[in-house]
Amino acid sequence: MSQSTEYSSSLQEFIIDGASCGSCVSKIENAVQQVSGVTHAEMNFAQRTMSVAGTSTSSAIISAVEKAGCQAKVREAKSEEDALTEKEAVDLAYSKRLMRQTWIALSLGVPLMAYALITGEMNVNTVGERIAWFIVGLLTLGVMIAAGKHFYIGAWKSLLNHSANMDTLIASGTGTAWLYSMVVVLLPSVIPEQARHVYFEASAMIIGLINLGLILELKARGHTSEAIKRLIGLQAKTARVIRDDKEFDIAIDQVLLHDIVRVRPGEKIPVDGDVIEGHTSIDESMLTGEPMPVEKVAGDSLATGTINKTGSVLFKATRVGKDTALAQIINMVKRAQNSKPPIGRLADIISAYFVPVVMIIAVMSAMVWFNFGPDPVLAYALVSFTTVLIIACPCALGLATPMSVMVGVGKAAQAGVLIRNGEALQTASKITAMILDKTGTITLGAPKVTDVIVVGEYDEQTILYLAATLESGSEHPLAMAIVESAQERGIETGKASNFSAIAGHGVQAEVDGKTLLFGNEKLMHQRGIDLGSFVEKAQALAADAKTPMYFAIDHHFAGIIAVADPIKEDSIAAIKRLQHNGIRVVMLTGDNRDTAKAVANKVGISEFFAEVLPEEKSKKVQELQMKGEIVGMTGDGINDAPALAIANVGFAIGTGTDVAIESADITLMRGSLHGLADAIAVSKATLSNIKQNLFGAFIYNAAGVLIAAGLLYPIFGLLLNPVIAGAAMAFSSLTVVMNANRLRFFNAKEY
Cite the active site residues: 437
Residues 6+ apart with CB under 8 A from 722: 173, 177, 199, 202, 206, 383, 386, 387, 390
Q: Angle at which helices 200-221 and 722-741 pack, to 10 degrees?
A: 0
- Compute φ and ψ for 550, nearest 5 degrees: -85, 140
Distance CA 419, CA 553 (A): 47
Q: What 8-state DSSP symbol labels residue 440?
A: I
Distance CA 101, CA 481 (A): 69
Strands 260-263 and 238-243: antiparallel
Distance CA 264, CA 118 (A): 72
Under 8 Å between Cβ of 586 and 605: yes
Distance CA 57, CA 37 (A): 8
Beta strands per DSSP E along 18-84: 38-44, 49-54, 71-74
| Residue 244 burial (CB count, 10 A) | 5
Helices (H), 54-165: 58-67, 80-119, 127-160
Distance CA 127, CA 350 (A): 49
Under 8 Å between Cβ of 321 and 327: yes
Q: Provide the 3-class DSSP secondary structure of residue 668.
A: strand
Under 8 Å between Cβ of 104 and 146: yes
Under 8 Å between Cβ of 147 and 105: yes
Distance CA 730, CA 430 (A): 34
Strands 649-653 and 631-635: parallel
- How many alpha carbons lie under 13 Å from residue 550 in its C-beta half-sphere? 29
Under 8 Å between Cβ of 315 and 274: yes
Distance CA 568, CA 445 (A): 9
Identify whether 376 is preceded by a cis peptide bond (ω within 30 of 0). yes
User: Rounded to 10 degrees, what is the CA torsion of 468, 469, 475, 479?
Assistant: -30
